Amino acid sequence: MPVDTKDIFAIVEKQNEWRGKQCVNLIASENTPSPAVRSIQLNDFMGRYAEGHPNTPEKINRYYQGTRYIDEVETMAAREMRELFGCAQAEVRPYSGNNANTAIAMGWLRGGDAVIANSTDAGGHISHNFFGIMGRRIQTRGQVLKPGKENSVKLSFFPLSADRYHIDVAKSLELIEKVRPNLLVMGKSLYLFPDPVKELAPLCRQLEIPILYDGAHVLGLIAGGQFQDPLEEGATWLTGSTHKTFPGPQRGVILANLDAEGEKKYWSAADRGVFPGTSSNHHLYSLPALVVATREMKAHGKAYAAQICLNAVALAKALDASGVPVEAKEFGYTRSHQIAVNVSAFGGGVKAALALEANDIICNYNMLPGDQDAQNPSGLRIGTPEMTRFGMKEKDFAELGELMAAAIRGKAVKDQVHKLRGRFLDMQFV
Ligand SMILES: Cc1ncc(COP(=O)(O)O)c(C=O)c1O
């Protein structure tokens, strides 16, 4: 006898209606996958395991039987990724961006190692900080290591230029010489401008320090040729989420070009970090969807990524013109899918984000460089990927900017927001 599920189905239906059709979604880390990406995820792989690598005619690599079709899917997903990013290696088993980073940290770092990363108040992801894998316990030879103790990971942060939106290259080179870290982590969560990979990579190569470029946010922009190309610029690994600017299923990926002698050790570290380091089943059901999304990005990624970036600048200009200041104006506001809005004059980030949500405009409050209190920051982080996918262009974002400025000032604009959203319900770039 089936159990009663009406209540839970009703909640899901409300979510589908509200966030799917009524809201203007501006969370920079979110997206709506295409109908094909969504529908292919309901499959038999949902309950299966496939530890290890795909079997080949020559070798049994899996630790389970019954994997012939996931072997095909995994091989295909890695090939599609390599083709899209023009790289030599692709690891498609991580089930999220954080999991991909954790796998590399687990496979590469040992207790007592030193790391340089972007600090949280400069936009770095919290998982790069003491609370995440970089600062947490790393076990080696059976010992549990603690942050702050002699044998824990030693974490330093990149020095910043005066505007605090860019890494100071000269000071970072000095820091690398001084600290001689075992790993550099670049890439951020509040990510407006590219990190100086090509400026730091030559010294890192000379000192044999690998660079983990966390492209969680910008993976789709990189695929579309709209942001820096980290592997080309000298990063050792490029990790990413496959569900932010890359509009696929919620998963992660590790990409690299590590064929040269002396560099293979970096790929084997990532490999053992993924399995058995940080995963066992790798959420098999969503891997076919990654193949679909990768093909969508091959076909439409360039146009999609270009429009995302144009829209971000258009929204920044509109907000600024409406009296809501947008950060980094002197640098053209942004080179990515995000803008950082300074709402300290309007009661701070939390108040402004709630005022927008009350009008069905969804974004998140965010620390701006220099903020100390993550619970009471002065900014909003706003992203254009999702609404771009539904066809909004520069003039539509300009219209949205005016509505947002009004909502931040306390005006009720929900009806206008619903009307605007109602014009953009059909998915593009699929
Ligand atoms: C820079 C960065 N890395 C990693 C993550 C975590 O990604 P995921 O949710 O795919 O684990 C985020 C989340 O937004 C992020 O901003």
Q: Which of 201, 166, 204 is nearest to 182 (CA)?
A: 204
The residue type found at 371 is D
Position in ligand 1 atom list of the atom nearest CA 29: 14
Residue 404 to residue 320: CA distance in whole angstroms: 11
Among 92, 98, 126, 245, which is best to mutate for testing ligand 1, by the most ligand atoms less than 8 A from CB? 98
pLDDT digits (tens, 9 = 90+) for 133-183: 776 544 454 455 565 666 666 889 999 999 999 999 999 999 999 999 999
pTM summary value: 0.96
Cα 173 to Cα 369: distance, rounded to the nearest angstrom: 21
Take atom 16 of ligand 1 and give the residue whose Cα is closest.
189
Are the C-beta atoms of residues 32 and 392 closer than 8 Å to each other? Answer: no
User: What CA–CA distances, in Å, run from 259 to 37, 267, 367?
Assistant: 32, 9, 40
pLDDT at 141: 47
**pLDDT tens, 240-257?**
999 999 999 999 999 999
116 to 162, 207, 231, 299: CA distances (angstroms): 19, 14, 18, 37
Compute the mean pLDDT over every residue in the chain, rounded to the nearest whole number.
Answer: 94
Which of 230, 229, 228 is CA-nearest to residue 211?
230
| Ligand 1 pocket list (CB less than 6 A) | 29, 96-99, 125, 127, 187-189, 214, 216-217, 241, 252
Q: What is the pLDDT of residues 53-101, one digit of tens each?
A: 999 999 999 999 999 999 999 999 999 999 999 999 999 999 999 999 9
In angstroms, the CA 91 to CA 82 distance is 9
